């Protein structure tokens, strides 16, 4: 087994670059007075080196460049490697070690992730996949399995020569993150992984976003911070950033900041309150089963199917336009349409409109097309996410809902700002980001009201002044605040709708007050992210797509070359230099393998790559292909990835 791993692991460190600006020229001593045998090295992460005679214990390995400097301090061999977590940038140079003689130590959960990394990269993702946000995985394992020799349980002790570490379970930055605590010479030091960055801040956001706006990752961090706070830590040595002195005080400040952050982060309305009056206090029942009337020409699902997606405009001539349609049985849709024909004069459904990219808003789309002849319409930038969802790594796309629904043909994609002349009404189509970049607003003046269909951006009761109305902040929706909720909420304030028809059966009359609260919250939330993330342009630590591949899933199973488009994004106000190398598993080739260039301020640049699988594949099946990222002289390492398959998937993949 060891020989097999040793054969493949060099692919983990094909692309490391010595960055003088980002790493010290020599090993340093972070605590020279109390721990003279402790050294530190910086490249894609902090590597800590304990020296005992001519041996070394490493805490993380980063890109492996530390190995070249160990002889300078008299180290001839590394005999132990402690891992805080499974993240690639912390261990991508593991192939530089002699794995026959090095003991690898990690927690139970991290060991499981390291042992079977491709389990967490699905060819056919589902909403409930482990360690995913509705199908978009938040773990970042290496592209090759790593065997952990010694699995440490929470609360156990690990001994190496005369050093004894307490092994504490501190999840939040990673599902099974482990902190190693040691006390010597009246000083307690914690090798704390990504739990906290100096300044009482998050290491990044995308590793702690574990669910769809309910703060599971933040709650895990809070529990871990509280636990570590009881240990009276003097110095914490994190995986990123400088040593954290006065660590106990910083942990307490961090705990308080996380609580403040959490209070603003979680959804700004009572998600599980089923009181109909708080969700829709103006619609009234009709003779049609399951259908309520909002205005003389506008209808929606009754409270029988609270939380589902369906609204319909019916013109005087009997033409229908459906707004979103999903999450309720097909038989109910049939009942509604039959009833609308009998009681509301419906003659024909012209089209159904999709408000944003998430699958629950058009699960019944194929039925509307095939049985009722309706056309599928949406904003142009949403189209491909509906037609080809498996080409993306976003949350809650339609392919994650199962039943073999892997996309649906859209009949027309409209430009932002375009007007639809429908049955004498002028319907405006506008881009409406917020919960996701790929959303839109459809609005019109009808029945003496300006009515806006807003998708999932906001929900709630406009009469409740404690509500801020926002739905989730999920980075895997492509949802940067300044380009999302802030922009979208200002758009709605400027639009001045009389009624907001939110998705999931919410109706919000007289919404001006709640729209103002929503806009105020959006700006406050962005400021909290700026304060919580240790990067001038916080987006680099928020967005998991600033280097991304299209398609995310590349089928190489037929041996033919396939094209992949790589996008590199610049969030800065100045040009950005990058060097990005594809870390390819054996048997896959790319032309080119390295992308170098300059991205202009606040813009994106796209590159084309040709991928092909050869006949010498050593590991057929799903392959993880990381991007090894260097940006403006800093080596970030293998942060992001895409996947390829080299043989047809089984139904379980």
The CATH number linked to 620 is 2.60.40.10
Which residues are registered as beta bridge partners of 445? 450
Which tokens in the block code for residue 640?
A: 């992001």
From 479, 502, 532, the end of a domain falls on 532
Report the pLDDT value the prediction gives residue 25, as an integer from 0 to 100. Answer: 61
The count of other CB atoms within 10 Å of the CB of residue 371 is: 14
Position 30 in a domain: yes
- In terms of domains, do 565 and 528 share one? no
Position 299 in a domain: yes
- In terms of domains, do 250 and 287 share one? no
Three-state secondary structure call for residue 356 = strand
Report the pLDDT value the prediction gives residue 649, as an integer from 0 to 100. Answer: 60
Q: What is the number of domains present in the chain? A: 3
Position 54 in a domain: yes
* Angle, vertex CA 485, rays to CA 505 and CA 205, nearest 5: 110
- In terms of domains, do 359 and 492 share one? yes
Position 132 in a domain: yes
- In terms of domains, do 87 and 230 share one? yes
**What does pLDDT average to in each consecutive run of 10 residues of the chain (653 residues)?**
37 33 70 95 97 97 97 97 98 96 97 97 96 98 96 96 97 98 94 98 98 97 97 97 97 98 96 92 96 98 94 98 97 97 98 97 97 98 98 97 88 97 97 97 98 97 96 95 96 98 97 97 98 97 98 94 97 97 94 97 97 78 96 96 84 51
- In terms of domains, do 484 and 592 share one? no
Report the pLDDT value the prediction gives residue 269, as an integer from 0 to 100. Answer: 94
- In terms of domains, do 523 and 421 share one? yes
Which tokens in the block code for residue 121?
A: 């990269």
Q: What share of the chain is helix, strand, coil (3-state, %, to 5)?
A: 25, 30, 45
- In terms of domains, do 432 and 564 share one? no
The CATH number linked to 175 is 3.60.15.10
Position 74 in a domain: yes
- In terms of domains, do 11 and 148 share one? yes
**Full residue range of the structural domain in which residue 91 is found:** 2-265
Position 125 in a domain: yes
- In terms of domains, do 558 and 469 share one? no
The model's pTM? 0.93
Which residues are registered as beta bridge partners of 563? 610
Residues 6+ apart with CB under 8 A from 479: 433, 434, 435, 436, 437, 473, 485
From 532, 557, 577, the end of a domain falls on 532
Could you give the CA distance from residue 23 to residue 18 in angstroms, rounded to a whole number?
8
- In terms of domains, do 226 and 300 share one? no
- In terms of domains, do 258 and 323 share one? no
- In terms of domains, do 259 and 316 share one? no
């Amino acid at each position: 087994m060891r020989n097999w791993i040793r054969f493949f692991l060099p692919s983990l460190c094909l692309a490391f670059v010595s960055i003088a600006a980002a790493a010290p020229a020599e090993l340093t001593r972070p605590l020279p007075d109390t721990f003279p045998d402790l050294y530190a090295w910086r490249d894609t992460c902090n590597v800590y080196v304990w020296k005992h005679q001519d041996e070394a214990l490493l805490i993380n390995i980063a890109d492996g460049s530390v190995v070249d400097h160990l002889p300078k301090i008299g180290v001839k061999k590394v005999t132990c490697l402690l891992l805080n977590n499974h993240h690639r940038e912390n261990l991508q140079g593991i192939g530089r070690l002699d794995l026959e003689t090095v003991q690898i130590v990690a927690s139970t959960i991290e060991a499981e992730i390291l042992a079977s990394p491709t389990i967490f990269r699905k060819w056919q993702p589902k909403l409930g996949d482990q360690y995913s946000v509705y199908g978009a995985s938040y773990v970042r394992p290496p592209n090759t399995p790593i065997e952990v020799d010694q699995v440490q349980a929470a609360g156990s002790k690990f001994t190496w020569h005369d050093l004894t570490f307490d092994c504490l379970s501190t999840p939040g930055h990673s599902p099974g993150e482990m902190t190693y605590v040691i006390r010597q010479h009246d000083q307690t030091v914690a090798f704390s992984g990504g739990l906290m960055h100096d300044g009482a801040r998050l290491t990044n956001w995308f590793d702690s976003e574990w669910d769809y706006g309910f703060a599971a990752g933040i709650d895990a961090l809070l529990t871990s911070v509280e636990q570590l706070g009881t240990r009276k830590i003097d110095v914490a040595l994190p995986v990123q950033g400088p040593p954290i002195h006065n660590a106990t005080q910083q942990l307490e400040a961090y705990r308080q900041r996380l609580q403040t952050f959490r209070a603003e982060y979680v959804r700004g309305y009572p998600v599980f309150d089923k009181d109909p009056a708080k969700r829709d206090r103006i619609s009234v029942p009709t003779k049609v089963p399951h259908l309520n009337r909002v205005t003389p020409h506008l209808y929606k699902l009754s409270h029988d199917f609270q939380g589902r997606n369906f609204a319909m405009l019916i013109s005087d001539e009997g033409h229908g336009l459906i707004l979103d349609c999903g999450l309720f049985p097909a038989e109910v849709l049939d009942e509604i349409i039959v009833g609308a024909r009998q009681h509301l004069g419906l003659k024909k459904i012209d089209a159904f409109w999709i408000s944003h990219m998430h699958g629950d808003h058009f699960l019944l789309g194929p039925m509307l097309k095939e049985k009722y002849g309706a056309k599928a319409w949406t904003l142009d930038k949403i189209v491909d996410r509906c037609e080809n969802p498996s080409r993306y790594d976003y949350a809650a796309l339609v392919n994650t809902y199962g039943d073999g629904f892997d996309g649906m043909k859209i009949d027309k994609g409209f430009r932002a700002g375009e007007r639809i002349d429908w049955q004498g009404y002028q319907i405006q189509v506008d881009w409406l980001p917020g919960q996701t970049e790929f959303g839109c607003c459809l609005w019109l003046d009808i029945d003496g009201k300006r009515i806006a269909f807003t998708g999932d951006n906001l929900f709630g009761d406009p009469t409740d002044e404690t509500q801020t109305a926002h739905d989730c902040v999920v980075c895997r929706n492509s949802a940067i605040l300044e380009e999302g909720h802030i922009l979208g909420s200002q758009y709605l304030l400027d639009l001045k709708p009389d009624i907001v028809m939110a998705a999931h059966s919410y109706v919000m009359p007289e919404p001006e007050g709640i729209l103002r609260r929503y806009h105020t919250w959006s700006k406050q939330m962005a400021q909290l992210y700026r304060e919580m993330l240790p990067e001038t342009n916080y987006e680099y630590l928020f967005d998991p797509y600033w280097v991304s591949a299209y398609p995310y899933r590349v089928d190489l199973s037929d041996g033919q070359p396939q094209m992949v488009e790589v996008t590199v994004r610049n969030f800065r106000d100045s040009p950005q230099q990058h060097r990005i190398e594809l870390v390819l598993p054996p048997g896959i080739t790319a032309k080119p393998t390295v992308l170098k260039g300059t991205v202009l301020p606040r813009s994106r640049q796209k590159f084309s790559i040709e991928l092909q699988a050869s006949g010498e594949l050593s590991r057929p099946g799903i392959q993880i292909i990381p991007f090894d990222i260097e940006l403006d002289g800093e080596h970030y390492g293998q942060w992001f990835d895409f996947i390829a398959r080299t043989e047809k998937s089984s139904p379980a993949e």
